[in-house]
């Protein structure tokens, strides 16, 4: 018994460190005066570094361990996702400090809520049971609702948080209802059991099918796929940019974990069904995301729609259904998180002196005022379009090649057409920064650490674009064991 318990604890070791550590941060923060808030920040960063270290140390071998009666798993997929989630959250923290301080928002809650959300993501990544997934999801979602409302003096933020909360509650209910139907038909919550036991007889059960539809709806909400996307533009715009940065990056990893664990691992027997549903959601997301982004003058809103379009691409990887498809979806998500943290980070950086920089007008002529950061944004935009040699190119490339290998030519063409339409608004950003005049935003007075983080963030895309093999191999290894 003792050895089983220690296996359980070791498997969940990063989450345990995080849970204990964040309680510690919470307690320390209570006793700090406002002028010492940097201590909270530093503690959080150290905590994240510690978790990253423990993740790197554990299981470089690629083995899979089940724990807690088969409801918790540590495998290459969970480790990749966790590592990226930790890095993404750390990046958010690094970006946000001057931004928050300039607005009198540099409070411990930001870090504590962020760490709670991260805990939810880690749990999602390692979950091997429907209920554990639900637990992780709620932990993540509740923290995010609070973060969006974090600036309580802003009516816009309060409205966004309200919308997010109500819609999120509906989605949670949907998901939970789907889980209960699946449980009712199969008598099991365990992903491994579901995978093994759903036979041909059950696979045609209508109740199971209805359950599947509800599960897909819940997952689609978390991704922000059309028509479950309506919260995204309002939340992205309403929340303080630092929170938008948070919402736009790490939670996508959680959503990906949710989709892979439940659909790909739990319900492969229903693959024919959910692939069709996801295909429809993907095409809708690609078209609506790219088209609606064109009409936006607010950069945060535009990026929200661009996120929806990228989600369409990620879902297409699931539609292919092959290990190559899942691997491509994973690769796309990881690259997307880097791109999103760069582009929202860019806005945070420009806003870090106090004034809000969030419209296209603001960044006009940035090239003359801050050429380096304008260049960084150019790289981000062309990576989002998918131009080599940036990482975004390979992300799209592998999704498309997975689609073509499974004879989804129509979907591939649709994705390409949507991307071409989408190129317009990314190029418009570049054009406005380089060739127009009249904006006010500039990067003067931004602390060195934020500058360095953004540059590293963007240059990482270039590096991955030039040497995509390492990351691809990582994704291939994670996807192979599913």
Residues of this chain that bind other proteins (CB under 8 A): 162-163, 166-167, 170-171, 174, 206, 209-210, 212-214, 216-217, 220-221, 226-228, 230-231, 233-234, 273, 276-277, 288, 291-296, 421, 424
Rg (CA), the chain: 21
Q: Is the Cβ–Cβ distance between 157 and 240 less than 8 Å?
A: yes
Q: How far is the CB of 347 from other proteins (least distance, A)?
A: 20
Whether 285 and 225 have beta carbons less than 8 Å apart is answered as yes
In order, the DSSP letters of 171-220 are: HHHHHHHHHHHHHHHHS--BHHHHHHH--HHHHT-HHHHHHHHHHHHHHH
- The answer to whether the CB of 222 falls within 8 A of the CB of 251 is yes
Structure-token match 């969030």, residue found: 358
Least distance between other proteins and beta carbon 340 (Å):
20
Helix 241-248 vs helix 299-320: crossing angle, to nearest 10? 10
SS3 call for 65: strand
Gap between the Cα atoms of 403 and 335, Å rounded = 19
Distance CA 296, CA 299 (A): 7
Q: Which is nearer to other proteins, 101 or 163 (CB)?
A: 163
- Greatest Cα-to-Cα distance within the chain, rounded to the nearest angstrom: 70
The nearer residue to other proteins, 13 or 397, going by C-beta atoms, is 397
Q: Which of 83, 208 has the CB closer to other proteins?
A: 208
- How many Å apart are CA 200 and CA 203, to the nearest integer? 5
* Cα–Cα distance for residue pair 415/426, rounded to 1 Å: 16
Minimum separation from the CB atom of position 224 to other proteins (A): 12
Q: How far is the CB of 78 from other proteins (least distance, A)?
A: 28
Pick 64 or 368: Cβ nearer other proteins: 368
Nearer to other proteins, 105 or 414 (CB): 414
Q: Which is nearer to other proteins, 214 or 313 (CB)?
A: 214
Contact 226, 134 (CB under 8 A): no
Name which of 233 and 392 has its Cβ closer to other proteins.
Answer: 233
The Cα 430–Cα 303 span in angstroms is 14
What span, in angstroms and rounded, lies between the C-alpha atoms of 119 and 235?
22
The token pair at 362 is: 């603001």
Is the Cβ of residue 233 or residue 240 nearer to other proteins in the bound state? 233
Shortest Å distance, C-beta 371 to other proteins: 12
Pick between residue 416 and residue 421 the one whose CB is nearest to other proteins: 421
Alpha carbons 225 and 319: distance in angstroms, whole number: 14
Least separation in angstroms between residue 296's CB and other proteins is 8
Provide the minimum distance between the beta carbon of 467 and other proteins in the complex, in angstroms, as a whole number. Answer: 9
Nearer to other proteins among residue 16 and residue 276 (C-beta): 276
For residue 238, the minimal CB distance to other proteins (Å) is: 11
Q: How far is the CB of 378 from other proteins (least distance, A)?
A: 16
Look at residues 348, 335, 333, 347 and name the one whose alpha carbon lies nearest to residue 461. 335
Task: Count H helices and E strands in the chain, helices first.
Answer: 22, 2
Q: How many CA within 13 A on the CB side of residue 374?
A: 24
In angstroms, the CA 168 to CA 142 distance is 9
CB of 167 to other proteins, least distance (A): 6
User: Sign of the C-alpha dihedral, residues 66, 72, 76, 77?
Assistant: positive
What's the CA gap between 182 and 67, in Å, rounded?
Answer: 22
> How far is Cα 251 from Cα 247, in angstroms, rounded to an integer?
6
Looking at beta carbons only, is 51 or 278 nearer to other proteins?
Answer: 278
Considering the complex, state which of residue 171 and residue 366 has its C-beta at the smaller distance from other proteins.
Answer: 171
> Shortest approach of other proteins to residue 50 CB, angstroms?
36
Q: How far is the CB of 445 from other proteins (least distance, A)?
A: 23
Beta pairing class for 72-74 and 65-67? antiparallel
């Amino acid at each position: 018994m003792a050895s089983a318990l220690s296996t359980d604890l070791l498997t969940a070791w990063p989450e345990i460190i995080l849970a204990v550590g964040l309680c510690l941060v919470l307690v320390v923060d209570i006793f700090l005066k406002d002028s010492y808030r940097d201590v909270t920040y530093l503690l959080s960063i150290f905590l994240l570094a510690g978790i990253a270290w423990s993740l790197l140390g554990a299981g470089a071998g690629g083995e899979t361990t089940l724990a807690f009666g088969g409801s918790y798993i540590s495998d290459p997929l969970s480790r990749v996702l966790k590592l990226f989630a930790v890095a993404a959250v750390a990046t958010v923290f690094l970006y946000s400090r001057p931004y928050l301080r300039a607005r009198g928002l540099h409070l411990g809650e930001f870090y504590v809520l962020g760490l709670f959300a991260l805990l939810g993501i880690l749990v999602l990544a390692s979950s091997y049971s429907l209920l554990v997934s639900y637990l992780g999801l709620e932990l993540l979602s509740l923290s995010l609702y609070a973060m969006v409302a974090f600036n309580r003096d802003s009516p816009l933020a309060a409205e966004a948080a309200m919308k997010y909360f109500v819609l999120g509650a509906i989605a949670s209910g949907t998901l939970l209802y789907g889980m209960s139907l699946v449980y009712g038909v199969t008598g099991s919550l365990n992903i491994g059991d579901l995978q093994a036991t759903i036979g041909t007889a059950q696979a045609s059960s209508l109740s199971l099918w209805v359950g599947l539809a509800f599960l897909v709806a819940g997952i689609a909400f978390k991704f922000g796929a059309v028509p479950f996307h309506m919260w995204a533009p309002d939340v992205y715009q309403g929340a303080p940019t630092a929170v938008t940065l948070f919402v736009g990056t790490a939670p996508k990893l959680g959503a990906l974990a949710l989709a892979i664990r439940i659909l790909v691992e739990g319900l492969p027997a229903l693959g024919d069904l959910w692939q069709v549903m996801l295909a429809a959601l993907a095409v809708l997301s690609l078209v609506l995301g790219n088209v609606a982004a064109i009409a936006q003058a607010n950069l945060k809103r535009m990026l929200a729609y661009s996120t929806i379009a990228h989600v369409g691409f990620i879902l297409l990887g699931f539609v292919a259904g092959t290990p190559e498809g899942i691997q491509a979806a994973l690769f796309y998500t990881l690259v997307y998180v880097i791109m999103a943290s760069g582009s929202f980070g860019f806005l945070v950086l420009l806003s870090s002196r106090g004034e809000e920089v969030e419209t296209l007008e603001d960044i006009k002529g940035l090239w003359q005022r801050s050429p380096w950061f304008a260049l960084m944004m150019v790289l981000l935009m062309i990576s989002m379009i998918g131009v080599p040699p940036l990482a975004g190119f390979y992300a799209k490339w592998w999704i498309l090649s997975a689609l073509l290998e499974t004879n989804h030519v129509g979907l591939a063409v649709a994705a390409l057409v949507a991307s071409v339409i989408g190129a317009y608004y990314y190029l418009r950003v570049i054009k406005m920064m380089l060739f127009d005049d009249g904006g006010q935003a500039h990067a003067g007075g931004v602390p060195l650490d934020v500058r360095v983080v953004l540059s590293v963030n963007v240059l990482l895309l270039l590096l991955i674009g030039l040497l995509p093999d390492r990351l691809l191999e990582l994704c291939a290894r994670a996807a192979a064991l599913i």
